[in-house]
Structure 1
Amino acid sequence: MHRYRRWNLSIILIISMVLIAGCVERKQLENLGLITAAGYDMEQQNKIKGTIVIHKFDPIAQNMTKVISDIAHTSRGLRQKQNLESNQKLVTGQLRIVVYSKELAKKGIIQLVDTLNRDANVGNMVYLTVADGSASSIMKIDLKTPTSINLGTYLYNLIKQNVDGEQIVSPTLQEFNRNYNDTGKDPVLPILKIKKNDVIISGLALFKDDRMIGKVKPEKLFFLKILIDKYKAGTQELDFSRDRLKKIILQNAFQKERHVYNKVYISFDNIQSKSRIKLVDKKNLLFRVNVKLYSRLLEATEPLDLGNPVAVKTIEKEINKSVKENIEDLLHQFQKLDIDPVGFGNVYEAHYRGKLPTSSEWKQKYKLAKFEVVVDNKIVQTGVMD
């Protein structure tokens, strides 16, 4: 009797699942316009300009790309207008990257970011970026590539390969939300710029809450990455006056004097790095930043006596000094802008007892903080340089 009831129940469940599956709306790719990139600009007062890149599938022709721009008060209003200009239903399931104009970023982007958070079709791994200029100009750029390529995919890969290569900090929607909502840390996003009909990364935008208030130049990205994250790759170039390395520059009959550079430039890649921030004086708010580097020399613009251990120690010492100076410059820049992208606030909270300070309370304390930077770089390989 029980076996008979279980059999009937199984049949009912199977029939119900078939009926439910038959009610689900089928979405054929040919009927959909897949939004792969979106850009937002300020347009007059209380209005925004939205530009989207749509990937369209055609079973007969090749895959096509279309760009649509419209003006509205909200992103939902933009989507409504953009649908009127498309013969396919627009969907956000394949959105890869969002670009905000610098003008808009300076006023605040959280309203538009919230729209992404509320869209169940948008994943947390979408990249957020800032345009050095208008977002629409990047969305409409005519890439000079051998074959037609979807711009959303191109921009996504531009960011991803630099994240994977540890050149920049990952700028996903998830990470922006976490840092924005974190009392002890502020967000950063990559800046995109048009250069000779191509798109490049021209630095990192620094945010105070959801407003862009500064930037980190490309040559400083290495040092910010050291502070924020562990390094397993990445190349950096440093310059030194000839006097600082004069004793280890090879001088003999076979080495001719070089006149191309008035400084000595050394390029090295970082095999491994680890930074640790410690609150050593809670009362006077003194943080010690310990940076440990294992690097490999790749190139030098002068012949250096790398076979001499004393020369290698000299280079290590000079690199330590240069990295320390660059990190201190960044920390002073952040403090002057009243932002904390490194996360000193989180370190402070970890040592705090009682009710945690509010964001404004921490900002007041942060202005008076002091930093002691200690860099220890070990050259594990010198390679061959002449």
Structure 2
Amino acid sequence: MLKKCTWLLLLLCILPIFGCGDQRILEDLGFIQTTSYDMLPNGELSFSVSIPQADPETSAKREVLTATAKSSKEARMIMSRQTGMLLVSGQLRNVLFGISLAENGLHGHLDTLFRDPSISSQVKISVVEGSAGELLIEDYKQHPRTGRYIDMLLEKEALGQTIPKVTLFNFARDFFDQGIDPVAPIIKKHGNNYITTNGIALFRDDRYVTKIEPQDALVFAFLKSNFREGQINIDLTEINGKKENVMFSSLISTRKVKVIRGMQGIEKVAYHVKVTGSVLEYIGDTRLNNDLERRELEQRISQYISKKADAIIALMKKNQVDNIGIGTYVRNRAGYEQWKKMNWRQELQKLPVECSIEVHIKDYGKFR
């Protein structure tokens, strides 16, 4: 019995020592949370990383390291010499690419991230309008940790469908798949005050080509996939001829894509989108409790969204990109042999794509 008590006492003495050892090791690790990539005018690459500070003896919330190098791994070695911590990538959450680098192609840089076994495929990809490094280095007064601020902003906006949630996996899947091009959210810095989302970047393969403006992002989401939850502000002044504004909320969107084949091959692609939602705010003369007038309002909203959808299709055709995956439906309908003979980007420019939007107002508030 005495022997058992001795071993138990010895174990209790050893455990605190192990605990202190673990704590000391964690404090010595630099967990990279966010990293940025920029192309400099001379063709070299600039890299920055944001590392949350766990040391209670320092008042700083994070440490930011910057290096200029030919590759991210070389930059990592340079930045390692600037800090007393051992840099690790296991907690990486966001990768930011400056727009100048995105225009030159991201495949090589994303390939490096994929090859690193410590980096999750769920790391979020974003394009920065301007310099990604400057956005990451800046301290925003109301947000002590810029990396966490960016991560929370992207998560929240993706829930409302104003931007797509694009991970390393999503981007690579669309890059390697035939019949669809990748997308990524765009963010930008406003002085020293805040960061905002600024639309959706459209890629041709791995190169940034053009963007969807923020006010049209939800219409793009209607075409790209089904979703629940979201809201859109609709200005019907141009359609109605007089001032009329609708805030359409609690949206549920479903779409069907039909590829119509004729004697000469694929004749056209038809998108039919059903949108159901609540009128959260309305400014205009329509009496929403009148069934006839409410149906007329639904038709005007449908006309508005259809016009925006046609403009998005025209933008993609002009830039020879297919970011909503029209090609995947054409490929499945035409068959593999015919698809392989197509130059899809050229075919897309002359292929008729029709968008039919059906809007239903499910309720319009408590006021009657």
Q: What TM-score do the two structures reach when normalised by structure 2?
A: 0.88
**1:184 aligns to what SS in structure 2?**
coil
Consecutive unaligned residues of structure 2, counting only runs of 5 or more, are: 1-21
1:293 aligns with 2:288: no
Matched to 1:299, the amino acid is E
**2:164 aligns to what SS in structure 1?**
coil
Task: Report if aligned partners of 1:266, 1:299 keep a CA contact under 8 Å in 2.
Answer: yes
Consecutive unaligned residues of structure 1, counting only runs of 5 or more, are: 1-25, 246-261
Deviations 1:211-253 (Å, cap 9, x if unpaired)? 11101000000101111121211111111238827xxxxxxxx
1:83 aligns with 2:63: no
Tell me how far apart the structure 2 counterparts of residues 75 and 241 of structure 1 sit (CA, whole Å): 50
1:182 aligns with 2:177: yes
Give the equivalent residue in structure 2 for 1:268.
Answer: 248
**2:228 aligns to what SS in structure 1?**
coil
Shift of 1:104: 0.7
* Residues 359 and 132 of structure 1, relative CA distance in 2, 3 Å threshold: farther
1:220 aligns with 2:211: no
Tell me how far apart the structure 2 counterparts of residues 28 and 183 of structure 1 sit (CA, whole Å): 46
Give the equivalent residue in structure 1 for 2:261.
Answer: 281
User: In structure 1, which of residues 119, 139, 144 is the aligned counterpart of residue 141 of structure 2?
Assistant: 144
Give the equivalent residue in structure 2 for 1:134.
Answer: 131
After superposing the two structures, state which structure 1 stretch, 203-212 or 376-385, moved more.
Answer: 376-385
Deviations 1:145-187 (Å, cap 9, x if unpaired)? 1xx6322211111101111222221111110000111111011
Give the equivalent residue in structure 1 for 2:7.
Answer: none
* Residues 376 and 32 of structure 1, relative CA distance in 2, 3 Å threshold: same
1:207 aligns with 2:207: no
Tell me how far apart the structure 1 counterparts of residues 203 and 238 of structure 2 sit (CA, whole Å): 38
Give the equivalent residue in structure 2 for 1:119.
Answer: 116
1:302 aligns with 2:281: no
User: In structure 2, which of residues 157, 163, 176 is the aligned counterpart of residue 162 of structure 1?
Assistant: 157
Matched to 2:84, the amino acid is N
Shift of 1:64: 3.4
Deviations 1:10-57 (Å, cap 9, x if unpaired)? xxxxxxxxxxxxxxxx89211100111111111244410001111232
- Percent identity reads 26
Deviations 1:283-338 (Å, cap 9, x if unpaired)? 24300100011111111123531121001111011011111111011001011110
Matched to 1:54, the amino acid is I
* Residues 309 and 44 of structure 1, relative CA distance in 2, 3 Å threshold: closer
After superposing the two structures, state which structure 1 stretch, 52-61 or 217-226, moved more.
Answer: 52-61
* Residues 59 and 141 of structure 1, relative CA distance in 2, 3 Å threshold: closer
* Residues 88 and 359 of structure 1, relative CA distance in 2, 3 Å threshold: farther
Tell me how far apart the structure 2 counterparts of residues 194 and 356 of structure 1 sit (CA, whole Å): 46
Shift of 1:128: 0.7
**1:367 aligns to what SS in structure 2?**
helix
| Counterparts of residues 310-321 of structure 1 (less than 5 Å) | 310-321=292-303
**1:67 aligns to what SS in structure 2?**
strand
Task: Report if aligned partners of 1:303, 1:385 keep a CA contact under 8 Å in 2.
Answer: no
Tell me how far apart the structure 2 counterparts of residues 303 and 55 of structure 1 sit (CA, whole Å): 53
Tell me how far apart the structure 2 counterparts of residues 137 and 365 of structure 1 sit (CA, whole Å): 40
Give the equivalent residue in structure 1 for 2:233.
Answer: 237
**1:383 aligns to what SS in structure 2?**
coil
**1:205 aligns to what SS in structure 2?**
strand
After superposing the two structures, state which structure 1 stretch, 235-244 or 321-330, moved more.
Answer: 235-244
After superposing the two structures, state which structure 1 stretch, 63-72 or 343-352, moved more.
Answer: 63-72
Matched to 1:105, the amino acid is A
Matched to 2:245, the amino acid is Y
1:192 aligns with 2:187: yes
Give the equivalent residue in structure 1 for 2:5.
Answer: none
**2:46 aligns to what SS in structure 1?**
strand
**2:68 aligns to what SS in structure 1?**
strand
Tell me how far apart the structure 2 counterparts of residues 43 and 292 of structure 1 sit (CA, whole Å): 46
Task: Report if aligned partners of 1:57, 1:63 keep a CA contact under 8 Å in 2.
Answer: no
**1:94 aligns to what SS in structure 2?**
coil
Tell me how far apart the structure 2 counterparts of residues 241 and 384 of structure 1 sit (CA, whole Å): 25
After superposing the two structures, state which structure 1 stretch, 295-304 or 32-41, moved more.
Answer: 295-304
Give the equivalent residue in structure 2 for 1:383.
Answer: 365
Task: Report if aligned partners of 1:58, 1:64 keep a CA contact under 8 Å in 2.
Answer: no
Task: Report if aligned partners of 1:183, 1:358 keep a CA contact under 8 Å in 2.
Answer: no
Tell me how far apart the structure 2 counterparts of residues 59 and 295 of structure 1 sit (CA, whole Å): 49
Shift of 1:63: 7.1
**Number of aligned pairs?**
345
* Aligned-pair Cα RMSD in Å: 2.2
After superposing the two structures, state which structure 1 stretch, 330-339 or 192-201, moved more.
Answer: 192-201
Matched to 1:335, the amino acid is K
Matched to 2:139, the amino acid is D
* Residues 199 and 360 of structure 1, relative CA distance in 2, 3 Å threshold: farther
**1:123 aligns to what SS in structure 2?**
coil
Shift of 1:188: 0.8
Matched to 1:287, the amino acid is V
Give the equivalent residue in structure 2 for 1:15.
Answer: none
Tell me how far apart the structure 2 counterparts of residues 119 and 242 of structure 1 sit (CA, whole Å): 52
Tell me how far apart the structure 1 counterparts of residues 208 and 319 of structure 2 sit (CA, whole Å): 11
1:331 aligns with 2:326: no
After superposing the two structures, state which structure 1 stretch, 351-360 or 65-74, moved more.
Answer: 351-360
